[in-house]
Structure 1
Amino acid sequence: MSPAEVGRDDERYDSIPAQNAWRTAWESNKGAALILISEAFGSSSDAIVRFLQQGGHGMHPFQVIFARMITTLLLSGLYMWWTKVPDPFGHPSVRHWLALRAVFGFSGLFCLYYSVHYLPLAEATVFRFLVPIVTAWACSVFLGQTFTRKELIAGLIALVGVVMIAHPSSIFGSTDDIKTTDIEKVAPAQRIFAIFTSVLGVFGAAGAYTTIRVIGNRAHALVSVSYFAMLGTVGSTVALLVIPGIGFKMPHGAREWVLLSLLGIFGFGLQFLLTAGLQLDRSSKATSMMYTQVLFALSFDWAIWGVLPGGWSLIGGAIVIASTLWSALQKTQPNAGQISKAKEADEESALLGEQQDGVAEVVRRGSVSA
């Protein structure tokens, strides 16, 4: 063998450990990476919603919901058909829970889309991190699960953060909290009402995830998404046809058509990638990735609208994120055996804990009423 051939063999052998190292790093962080991408999709969807609602002729939240939900419904149905998901309409024993999950989810989504018209994306995003704590409380009230003292403390601290974000003038005096270069002027009353709507949306989302806990592994994750998308499509259509003064508005130009299409695709991507990521990794590392959505939202706020939250909003947002992240990291992480048995994951399972098979068993025995 010539010296040149020996050199080539050495280079090939040196490249194998490097390739193995990259592969090992990817396999170790694949779940977290998918969650990170899903959060980018989620923030992109929110930015599109805000842009469409604040555009030249402004689309109503119901029309934006219709555009997202009908795309999500079609993509979910196609994926379930392609992968031959069993019971695509859900087992009869859980269909009423799936319908209730859809009602709660629809109300939470409408409140979110309404609030982003008057609030910067970063502020509207922060309120979502209240969902795990409210869900834990709801499960303790309606399902008899334990609501720990740490969760209660985290919830009270987060409530202080919410008050700081709202910074009502009766408490904080007159402030000009939003740092902006080009943004539609929002009246203080509109801002307060938008924050109130965001809080209502938190309870809607918490109701959805509480029912998801009841459903547990008795329905595929995308069956739950399909019910949600179906109700969102039908409900928004009825609202647009029945409520006076709304109606459908045809998109203006190719840009709005493209944005509406991307809204549905990103919405489905958020659901799919987050579910896949949480199936692969339910550790605190994966949980932390969910909080990167605030960074994406801040980036969109500045890049598109020239908006940065002021002092009170930044402090309040940091308090909310820190308290909920602290609460999430206190939860006992599942062992490898538990993870291998978990077939499905919903988009908040990293924050809410493992799917509650025990809750599903209680429901089957009739101890929990609808």
Structure 2
Amino acid sequence: MAHENETENDENVHDVEETLPAWKSVWRNNKGVFFILISECFGACMDAIARFMQQGGVAMHPFQIMFFRMGITFVLSSLYMWWTSVPNFPLGQKSVRGLLVLRSICGFVGLFCLYYSVHYLPLAEATVFRFLVPILTAWACSIFLDQIFTRKELIAGIIALLGVVIIAHPAAIFGRVDDTIDTNQAGTVDDVTPTQRIIAIVASLVGIFGASGAYTSIRVIGNRAHALISVNYFAFIVTVGSTVALLVIPGIGFVMPQGARQWIFLVSLGVFGFALQFLLTAGLQLDKSPKATSMMYMQVIFALAFDWAIWGVLPGGWSFLGGGIVCASTLWSALQKSGVKEKKKEVVDEESALLGAQAQGSEEVAQRRGNVDI
């Protein structure tokens, strides 16, 4: 009888879908994918705004951009969690507060290095480097959480590092190469010296270690803290840390935005940051398939579009080749693990889709360890 009712319900759903317009049917069947796609667009928009505000007439420091982005995200996230009565809001369980602070400090390093690097690198290149985070996190989880770091993950990591070297194309190996294509010949991008470029690439790599530390901490925490509580810790510490840096470090200071457009840009940073986290969390809950995982790599396409539309530049041949190698190797590694079935529906964080089976296993280890504090 129960089987007949289930069959009847499936037939009714099928009949309803047949009566829906084509676009509504596509939306209904791929809602999670679209959420992830929109969230990646918001991520690319934030990076573009951060780069524009650093290179514009105001020339804001990365700390000030971080202050606006994470300060607004903190307010919106706090209001949302208060309104929806998220458990253990605002501080989370006592046993994981130390890990949440560690996650936030590592995230602070990662975010600063990202915003520093986008001043000197095209958005697409700076975005590609972030795809090294899942592989490095999987390696870190193998050390701290006794997870298996597979041979395929090791191979993917080595190939991705080769891609990074190709993107950097140091003169000692490749000779002196101007690898930026100016599509409008208007000189719209500040001249970047080879030294500045290498420093920006090194900063990106340091940021990868920071982001990996953040997500390794998230894996240790597991489901003992709501994803937005983790975001809130991160937003609060970045806001406080950037404020202290602006007040203490000589020669930085707070630059007042000039005009309504700059205020709109800065407020948009915080709104987009919250929207990214909200939509990505919802999207990864609705769809954990390889199709959803691949959508996270669309941010590179959005970044390329902004590079061309705003600054009139595109990465040259070496950068395209290296970026393609990094994306292909990390996506291949992620899809190897995407077929693992989830034991239960959980709130996920930004890297859950890319970490795949590694994320699930590490959460199980964290649960077995009980209350972990640092």
Q: Which interval holds the TM-score relative to the shorter structure?
A: over 0.9
Distance 1:19 1:142, change over 3 A: same
- Could you tell me how far apart the structure 2 residues matched to 1:22 and 1:192 are? 46
User: Structure 1, unaligned stretches of length 5 or more?
Assistant: 1-13
Counterpart amino acid of residue 205 in structure 2: V
- Could you tell me how far apart the structure 1 residues matched to 2:338 and 2:47 are? 32
Counterpart amino acid of residue 164 in structure 1: I
Q: Look up the match of 1:236.
A: 242
Q: Look up the match of 2:3.
A: none
Moved more, 275-284 or 59-68: 275-284
Cα distance per residue 1:144-171 (max 9 Å; x no partner): 1110000000000000100000000000
Q: Look up the match of 1:343.
A: 346
* TM-fit CA distance, 1:343: 2.0
CA contact (8 A) 2:95 2:371 kept: no
Say if 2:258 is the partner of 1:252: yes
After TM superposition, the structure 1 = structure 2 runs for residues 212-231 of structure 1, keeping only pairs within 5 Å, are 212-231=218-237
Q: Which of 106, 120, 123 is 2:122 aligned to?
A: 120
Cα distance per residue 1:185-206 (max 9 Å; x no partner): 0000000000000000011001
Say if 2:200 is the partner of 1:198: no
CA contact (8 A) 1:35 1:289 kept: yes
Q: Look up the match of 2:280.
A: 274
After TM superposition, the structure 1 = structure 2 runs for residues 314-325 of structure 1, keeping only pairs within 5 Å, are 314-325=320-331
Q: Look up the match of 2:302.
A: 296
- Could you tell me how far apart the structure 2 residues matched to 1:257 and 1:201 are? 27
Residue aligned with 1:198, SS: helix
- Could you tell me how far apart the structure 1 residues matched to 2:364 and 2:280 are? 24
Counterpart amino acid of residue 58 in structure 1: A
Counterpart amino acid of residue 159 in structure 1: L
Residue aligned with 2:164, SS: helix
Q: Look up the match of 1:156.
A: 158
CA contact (8 A) 2:145 2:366 kept: no
Residue aligned with 1:179, SS: strand
* TM-fit CA distance, 1:342: 2.3
Say if 2:13 is the partner of 1:33: no
CA contact (8 A) 1:214 1:363 kept: no
Q: Which of 103, 124, 128 is 2:105 aligned to?
A: 103
Q: Look up the match of 1:84.
A: 85
Q: Look up the match of 1:143.
A: 145
- Could you tell me how far apart the structure 1 residues matched to 2:48 and 2:338 are? 34
- Could you tell me how far apart the structure 1 residues matched to 2:212 and 2:17 are? 48
Stretches of 4+ aligned residues off by more than 6 angstroms: none
CA contact (8 A) 2:47 2:123 kept: yes
Residue aligned with 1:66, SS: helix
How many matched pairs? 352
Distance 1:150 1:240, change over 3 A: same
Q: Look up the match of 1:68.
A: 69
- Could you tell me how far apart the structure 2 residues matched to 1:16 and 1:60 are? 51
Q: Look up the match of 1:42.
A: 43
- Could you tell me how far apart the structure 2 residues matched to 1:128 and 1:159 are? 12
Task: Give me the TM-score of the superposition, normalised by structure 2.
Answer: 0.91
Cα distance per residue 1:104-140 (max 9 Å; x no partner): 1111000000000000000000001000000001111
The sequence identity of aligned pairs, in percent, is 67
User: Structure 2, unaligned stretches of length 5 or more?
Assistant: 1-14
Counterpart amino acid of residue 173 in structure 2: I
Q: Which of 330, 333, 339 is 2:336 aligned to?
A: 330
Residue aligned with 1:224, SS: helix
After TM superposition, the structure 1 = structure 2 runs for residues 177-196 of structure 1, keeping only pairs within 5 Å, are 177-180=179-182, 181=185, 182-196=188-202
Q: Look up the match of 1:165.
A: 167
* TM-fit CA distance, 1:293: 0.3
Say if 2:302 is the partner of 1:312: no
- Could you tell me how far apart the structure 2 residues matched to 1:294 and 1:19 are? 33
CA contact (8 A) 2:67 2:242 kept: yes
CA contact (8 A) 2:289 2:338 kept: no
- Could you tell me how far apart the structure 2 residues matched to 1:349 and 1:60 are? 31
Q: Look up the match of 1:3.
A: none
Residue aligned with 1:174, SS: coil
- Could you tell me how far apart the structure 1 residues matched to 2:31 and 2:48 are? 26
Task: Give me the TM-score of the superposition, normalised by structure 1.
Answer: 0.92
* TM-fit CA distance, 1:28: 2.2
* TM-fit CA distance, 1:57: 2.4
Q: Look up the match of 2:12.
A: none
CA contact (8 A) 1:125 1:297 kept: yes
- Could you tell me how far apart the structure 2 residues matched to 1:90 and 1:206 are? 22
Distance 1:312 1:35, change over 3 A: same
* TM-fit CA distance, 1:24: 4.3
Distance 1:365 1:86, change over 3 A: closer
Cα distance per residue 1:339-359 (max 9 Å; x no partner): xx2221011000102443312
CA contact (8 A) 2:99 2:217 kept: yes
* TM-fit CA distance, 1:362: 3.6
